[in-house]
Amino acid sequence: MARTPEAITPSSWRKVIAIATLASVIVSIVILAFTWPTKAMETKNLPVSIAGPEAAVSQFEQGLKDRGIETFEFKQASSREDAERQIKERETYGAIVFTEGAAPEVMTAPAANASANQMLTGVAQQMNAQVQQQATAAKTQALQQAAQAGGQQGAIATQQLEQLKTEQEKLQQAQVKTTAVVPLGDGDPNGMGLAVAAFPLIMGGIIGGVLSISLVKGTVRRFATAGLYGILGGLFMTLILGTWFGFVPGDFGALWATFGMTVFATASFMIGMSALFADAVGIGLGAVISMFIGNPLSGANMPWQFIPAPWGALGQLMVPGASNTLLRNIAYFPDASNSLQWAVLLGWAGFGLLAGAIGWAWKERRVTGMSAEDDTASVGAKTEANADVPDNVEIPWKAANI
């Protein structure tokens, strides 16, 4: 006899409207999370070193203030060498150096950030045009005044004015010197590879956490899975992004440790939250904090100083921001301090382990309490059963001392 398919009851229109509204709210939040930092960013307070005679430095800074330019936050350097040191230690993104009797020099660090490099290069071009214009205008004005005076002085001035035309042509070719102190590597000349590598790192941590929570039972075994994943995943990422593609140059062991600790820190946090609350909570918190909060605030595509305070600094205390800075330091800035970045990654990993230990202890305590209650109930039931049996009846389990 043919079976009649069961009728499917359609969802109510109220549910249709509710689901559509919920989806719209979620996608709006996602869009806001990814685009808000770009919309709200302010191109100001970029740390830049400045060195040279006090008069030249003061004149340059005052000129920027008069024009209302707040792009740079200048850090005084005692010399060109000191400015170069500040750049290599990532205290600043570049430097402007004034030298008596010579054109200024703009020092850049393309490996630090593409946006900062473009800004400093633009400053060099503006300064070059300004220096040429001022020098030409001053000489031309002086000679024209002398020529108008007439006499022998005027004749000499006229001759010098002709010579000035030749000098002006040479001056047009003169450039304010621009020096790339920390250039990008040959494998990633535009810096796109390093910027793109930030997203797989975030996804890698989330994937490790989701798979460990979904497919592995037991808190300890989940952490063991995440730890082994950090070792193997970090190795593969180093081989692909570093050795094969050349996007991230630097010491192989340091890069391996960075990639591995980054994905483990995120996975550890997710596992800890799942042990403390529930699996769905761990997965949800990991995705929200890493993808929708940490990633936009990481400063992977812009200097974190451009993100409104305190969000830019907060982003550096999260796994995406710390790992992005750490990778750049290892790849291009070996003189920079990495203590803060390692502390952040270890802190997130340790927090996950601590949360996991607390959650495991709570579950064990609940299980122990339930077992004790079951034992008490079992003993009480046996006592009642024993009381109902006459004394001359032998009870098998009692006789066996069970």
Q: What is the CATH number of the domain that holds 160?
A: 3.40.50
pLDDT of residue 3: 58
Note whether 272 and 156 are same-domain residues.
no
**Length reported for the chain:** 402
Helix intervals (H) in 219-304:
219-237, 252-276, 279-287
Note whether 205 and 334 are same-domain residues.
yes
Note whether 151 and 295 are same-domain residues.
no
Note whether 135 and 240 are same-domain residues.
no
Range of the domain at 153: 46-180
Q: Which of 193, 177, 197 is nearest to 185 (CA)?
A: 193
Report the half-sphere exposure of 273 (CA within 13 A, side-chain side). 21
pLDDT of residue 155: 59
**Is 266 a domain residue?**
yes
- The dihedrals phi and psi of 112, each to the nearest 5 degrees, come to -75, -50
Query: In this structure, are residues 181 and 108 in contact, taking their beta carbons and an 8 Å threshold?
Result: yes
As given in the structure block, the two tokens for residue 355 are 């949360």
Number of domains in the chain: 2
What is the residue-wise DSSP string for 332-361? H-TTS--HHHHHHHHHHHHHHHHHHHHHHH
In Å, how far are 44, 47, 365 from 68, measured between CA atoms?
11, 17, 64
In terms of DSSP bridges, do strands 105-108 and 94-97 run parallel, antiparallel, or are they unpaired? antiparallel
Note whether 243 and 343 are same-domain residues.
yes
In order along the chain (402 residues), what is the average pLDDT of each group of 10 residues? Answer: 67 94 92 88 92 93 87 95 97 94 90 92 83 64 59 59 61 74 91 86 95 96 98 97 93 97 98 96 94 92 91 96 96 96 98 96 76 58 55 46 36
pLDDT of residue 395: 45
pLDDT of residue 120: 93
- From CA 342, how far away is CA 267, in angstroms rounded? 16
- From CA 103, how far away is CA 35, in angstroms rounded? 41
Helix intervals (H) in 46-113:
54-66, 80-88
Note whether 206 and 145 are same-domain residues.
no
pLDDT of residue 200: 87
As given in the structure block, the two tokens for residue 202 are 């975030």
pLDDT of residue 168: 60
Note whether 139 and 240 are same-domain residues.
no
Note whether 74 and 217 are same-domain residues.
no
Note whether 176 and 209 are same-domain residues.
no
**Is 51 a domain residue?**
yes
Helix (H) or strand (E) holding 217: none
State the distance between the two ends of the chain, measured CA to CA, in whole angstroms: 56
Note whether 172 and 69 are same-domain residues.
yes
**Is 261 a domain residue?**
yes
Among 180, 206, 228, give the residue marking a domain's end. 180
Query: In this structure, are residues 307 and 299 in contact, taking their beta carbons and an 8 Å threshold?
Result: yes
Note whether 88 and 207 are same-domain residues.
no
Q: Which of 244, 237, 234, 254 is nearest to 331 (CA)?
A: 254
As given in the structure block, the two tokens for residue 350 are 């340790």
C-alpha angle 182-126-135 in degrees, rounded to nearest 5: 120
**Is 398 a domain residue?**
no
Query: In this structure, are residues 226 and 271 in contact, taking their beta carbons and an 8 Å threshold?
Result: yes
**Is 374 a domain residue?**
no
User: In the 8-state DSSP scheme, what is residue 291?
Assistant: I
Among 130, 160, 180, give the residue marking a domain's end. 180
pTM above 0.75, yes or no: yes
pLDDT of residue 167: 60
Strand partners of residue 179: 107
pLDDT of residue 401: 37
**Is 244 a domain residue?**
yes
User: What's the burial of 115, exposed, middle or buried (CB within 10 Å: 0-12/13-18/19+)?
Assistant: middle
In Å, how far are 257, 278, 344, 365 from 328, measured between CA atoms?
14, 36, 16, 45
Note whether 240 and 268 are same-domain residues.
yes
**Is 336 a domain residue?**
yes
**Is 141 a domain residue?**
yes
As given in the structure block, the two tokens for residue 376 are 């008490």
